[in-house]
Every structure is written in C-alpha cells, then in structure tokens.
Structure 1
C-alpha cells in the first residue's frame, strides 16, 4: 500500500502532538503524587526567587526557635537549682531559730545540718545542662564551685568560685541579642555561703548575737535569691514571647510558600481528566490515519 506524503506529514505531526500530550499528562500526575507543582525551582518560573527567599527565611527562623528553646531549657535548669538554694536559705533560718531556742541541746547536730546545706548549695551551683556547668560563665567544662574550710571567710568572699565572669548570649531573632545566665560568684550566692559559715562559727562560740546575725544574713539571702530567679524569669519570658512571634512568622512563610509551591489537587485532577480525554481522541484519530486500532498503535 502506498503512503501519500501528505498523510505521512500528518502522521508525524500527530505523533509529536501525542507525545507532548502524553508528557503533559504524566507531568500533571507527578504533581498530584508529590503535592508540588515542580520537582525543582526552575519549574516555578518567575516565582522561583520568591520561593527560595521564603525557604531561606523559614530555615533561619527555625534556627532561632531551636536555639531559643535550648536557652529556655538552660534557664529552667538554673531556676530549679536556684529554688534549691533558696530553700536552703529558708532552712538555715529555721535551723538557727531552733538553735537559739534550744541552746546547747542541739548544738552537736547543728554543724552536721549546716554541712549538709553547704553540700546542697555546692551541688546546685555545680548543676549541669547538656554536659555544661550552667553557673560557670564561659568555663562550662569544669565545676565552678569547690568549698574550702571554712566555705567562706565572710561576706563578699568568692574564693570558692572557679569559673569566669563571661555570660552567655543568644541571637534570639534578626534584631535581638539577649545576654543571659548567672555565675556562682553572684553576691546573693556568696552571701548565703557566708551566712552558712557564720552560722557554724556562731554555733561553735555559742554567741546568740552571732547566731542572730547569721539568721539576718540568711533572711537577706532568701530575698536576694528570689530576685535572681525573678530576673531570670523575665529573660525566659522574653524568649518565649520572641519564640511565639517566630512561630507565627514560620506559619506565615510556610503558607506563602505553600501557595506558590503546592499542587491544587482538584485543578490538577480536572486537568488530567481533560488531557486524558484529549489524548484518547488523538489516539483514535491517529489509528484511523494509519488504519490501525489504538491497541495496535500502543504495541
């Protein structure tokens, strides 16, 4: 059977159209399966630069949130330790009151109780978070507190401290850097340690005046440590507020990116359906030109 040149040209043209339509159907089906309009940025055309910028911003925002959350956990760890130290200050007041009222009857157990309190304070000030000592300044690899005998030589004595005075900071967002933390040589801690040492000395001398003075020091320590906790709480609250804003920004960026990147499934399915009908019609037309059935053509 002879084939006219016109028929051959028409057949080639239809074959090219069929392949293009088949590719179009496959591409649309791929966007439905992946949920994305394209598998690469180039496929988004003029929206590509906007999508890239949104991805970068979202990644940076996620990094801020993650780091802020870590700092919040450190502050929570520090607050728990300070609560323990504040409790010791309150317990010292109670212990001294009992010593003053009972006289020599509880003098023998007094020193043991104070020693246990000093151990508790030392353990709290040597608290770690994720392997680092939180009250050591920047020297987080070594315990910052080691008591001698006596633990303190009086108010203002911080010879027990082995850390440094450099506080940590976190870049909480694009515009905000927050310095945070407390070192174990803080005057509030030093005053409590001095009060504990003074209480032992007063117990040894039996001086009620010295016991009263140690009690007054411990009372001041309760207030000062509460102030430290409040200040640390303000910092934690600031980070929480910033993180709330960052999380809202992340959602906003994600929604913008989704609008640009994500496949509209209903539209895509309608397009696949329409293109499939057109493809079937094209196959039928092609089979008539070539005097072949659609099944034969597809083999």
Structure 2
C-alpha cells in the first residue's frame, strides 16, 4: 500500500513523459546524447517529481473535498513526508544539473524556481498555465544546455521549446477544469492548438526517410490528443475532461519524438517514442492525473 501510495503521489506513468524533453533539447542543438545528457535527464526526473509531491502537499485541503482518495487526504502519506520528498527531489535535481555543467545548472535553477512558484502560488491564478508551459520549455532547454554547453548554443533549441510549451499551455488550461468540467472552450482551444502544432510539424524539412518518421510521429501525437479533447469539448463533464488531460499528457511523448525527428535525430526520436507503451502500461495501474 505504501509503494502504491507513493506511485500515485508521484504520478508514475507521467514520469515517462519527462526524458523526451531533455532528448528533444539535445536533438535541437544537433548534439548526440552523452553523459551530460543523462545527468540532465536525472535532474529533470527529480525536478518533475518534486513538482508532483509539492503539488499534492499544496492542494491537500482542496483534495480533501474533491479527491479524498488521493494519498495525502486519505492518510496513506503524511503531508510532512510529501513536503520532505519535494525538497529532497529538488536538491537532487539541482545537484545532478551541476554535475552536467554550469550551463545546465543555469537552466535547472529557474526551472526549479518555476516548479515551486507554480505549485505554491501561481497554479490557481491566470498565470498558472503559462508557468507550467515555461517549465516544460525550460526542461527542453536543460537538455540543450547540458549536451552542448557552448555559449549561445541553447538559443537553437528555442523553437522546439516554444512548440512544446504551446502544447503544455493548452493542456494545463484544460486541466484547470479537471474536477468540475462545465467548459467547452478550453478543450476546443487545445484541439485547435494540437491541429496547429501538427500542421507545423508536418511541413517538409528533411530527407524523405526522416520526413516519413516525423509524419508518423506527428500523426501519433495528433491521434493521442485530438480525440479526447474533442470528446471533452462536446461533453465537458469531469470524467471526459480528466480523459482529455490524460490524453494530452500521453501525447507529450510522440510530440517530443516528432521534435527530435524534425531536428534530424531519428534514433533519439525512436527511443523517445518507445517510452509511450511503458507509460500506457503503468497508466492502467496508476492514474496519470
């Protein structure tokens, strides 16, 4: 029961959406993943889990009314333990980033700050979705800064970071109605964003073989996100809104893979895409939201 409670608190299935950020960042600067990339992946995983633990600690009173089955309100995990885990994960994430080099730490520090600011103060404000989008974009830039630490190289990853942030902005906007439903506009906007991102990603850019892979991954991204968004728009009930959020989270993986393929890193794209079945497998056991 304790293991399952922590798996729920830390959103274990969603963890598989994290490495692709860093790998897409490395691909965006045309760098082959190396030891520094792996350190950045470790840092990213730790900071993501810090955000998950801190999220439930900050929302413990709200969850007691809306989600009493969650680990903290149900009494399976004590609030102090969740807060301690958030602190420990943050320290570990920054330590791993420092091992990857100063440029990586220079990105990981505002990333950690954004995570804490979102969970503690920005989540329920109009700035919440933008803060979450910024965190995902910074996570991709972390991979770029760690893998190619040369001055100015990270700027080459800004377009990929912007695309990933756009997806995250739309998804987070939908998630704000996850427990209440009742609004068709957020999933409609997310559906439109998915279409725009898919159109942009599908534009010809490289050799035919790379284009084929990128097109297939883009189609997988659109198929994973679009259908649940459409269902939530047509019937914005809490269950369908939650499914839309889950679909948007799972769609992050093929989007990351498509970004890597677009940058000319087919092997990285395939490795990222291989995380999707694992995420789906664990999502059948532990909720991704």
Task: Establish whether TM, by shorter chain, passes 0.5.
Answer: no
Structure having the larger proportion of residues in strand = 1
Max Rg structure: 1
TM-score between the two structures when normalised by the length of structure 1: 0.29
